[in-house]
């Protein structure tokens, strides 16, 4: 029996393949990769709009497999995020429309290279969702299984993507099959229990946020 470093190669394995043949064989894979990168980059190319009151505005939309927004007239969900571009905390308001009443949805933020599931929400009977919240730290707020990202400080400059997706986690308890020693294993689940985590709202623009240090209160000293 040959050792690990003396494994016998199949017949013909040592024959050389012309470089042109190899390149032509790689063309389909390279083209597919380029298409995916192109569409992902295009979803993040636009900048938020500046409102007269100084807040920034980001449009959210349900998108098809080619990342094209699905108009509301064709049944697509839509939304908007308003946020202050800087401050010691990230305050934002998110409005979503065209969601399914009675279902749970997760608010997901991609902050730089990390992704956080902030909380789970249910739209009203009209399928509308309104979130008005302030974050003093970027951290996981719902069960995420093995997809846990360590908390990050608000301070500094961040690129943020706001997203709404279906919450397919269990309706209660913690994520099954996760060892208690895994970071985030004790986070609670509040989902639909169907394993469906499809995205319903994706960003049309990427938020640019600058977190500043909180000022110390020197009054009455």
Task: Give yes or no for residue 35 having a pLDDT over 50.
Answer: no
Q: How far is CA 138 from CA 59, 151, 196, 211, in A?
A: 21, 5, 24, 11
Task: Give yes or no for residue 218 having a pLDDT over 80.
Answer: no
Number of structural domains found in the chain: 2
Same domain for 107 and 35?
no
**Residue 149 phi, psi dihedral angles, 5° rounding:** -115, 135
166 occurs within a structural domain: yes
Same domain for 128 and 23?
no
Task: Give yes or no for residue 36 having a pLDDT over 90.
Answer: no
pLDDT at 30: 41
Task: Give yes or no for residue 22 having a pLDDT over 80.
Answer: no
* Count of positions (residues) in the chain: 221
Chain mean pLDDT for the chain? 84
Task: Give yes or no for residue 41 having a pLDDT over 60.
Answer: no
Write the pLDDT tens digit of every residue in 92-109.
999 999 999 999 999 999
What is the pLDDT confidence band of residue 46, given thresholds at 50, 70 and 90? Answer: confident
What sign does the CA torsion over 193, 124, 109, 43 have?
positive
Same domain for 165 and 182?
yes
142 occurs within a structural domain: yes
Same domain for 34 and 56?
no
Write the pLDDT tens digit of every residue in 120-165.
999 999 999 999 999 999 999 999 999 999 999 999 999 999 999 9
Task: Give yes or no for residue 87 having a pLDDT over 80.
Answer: yes
For residues 15 and 80, which has the higher predicted lDDT (pLDDT)? 80
12 occurs within a structural domain: no
Same domain for 30 and 55?
no
pLDDT at 1: 46
Same domain for 24 and 121?
no
Residue 129's Cβ-side half-sphere holds a number of Cα atoms within 13 Å equal to 32
Same domain for 205 and 187?
yes
pTM of the model: 0.77
Encoding tokens for residue 154?
């608000």
Domain that holds residue 201: 48-211
Same domain for 37 and 119?
no
What is the C-alpha separation between 166 and 194, in angstroms, rounded? 10
């Amino acid at each position: 029996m040959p050792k690990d470093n003396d494994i016998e190669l199949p017949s013909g394995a040592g024959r050389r393949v012309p470089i042109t043949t190899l390149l032509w064989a790689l063309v389909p894979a390279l083209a597919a990769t380029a298409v995916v990168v192109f569409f992902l980059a295009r979803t993040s190319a636009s900048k938020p709009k500046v409102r007269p009151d100084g807040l920034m505005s980001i449009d959210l939309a349900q998108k098809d497999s080619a990342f094209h927004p699905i108009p509301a007239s064709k049944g697509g969900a839509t939304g908007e995020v308003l946020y202050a571009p800087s401050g010691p905390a990230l305050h934002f308001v998110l409005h979503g429309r065209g969601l399914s009443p009675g279902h749970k949805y997760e608010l997901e933020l991609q902050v730089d290279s990390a992704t956080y599931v902030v909380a789970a929400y249910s739209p009203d009977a009209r399928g509308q969702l309104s979130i008005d919240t302030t974050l003093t730290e970027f951290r996981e707020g719902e069960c995420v299984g093995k997809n846990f990202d360590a908390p990050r400080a608000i301070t500094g400059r961040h690129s943020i993507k706001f997203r709404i997706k279906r919450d397919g986690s269990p309706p209660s308890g913690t994520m099954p099959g996760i060892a208690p020693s895994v970071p985030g294993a004790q986070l609670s689940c509040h989902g639909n229990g169907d394993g469906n985590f499809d995205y319903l709202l994706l960003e049309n623009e990427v938020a640019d946020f600058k977190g500043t240090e909180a000022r110390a209160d020197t009054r009455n000293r």
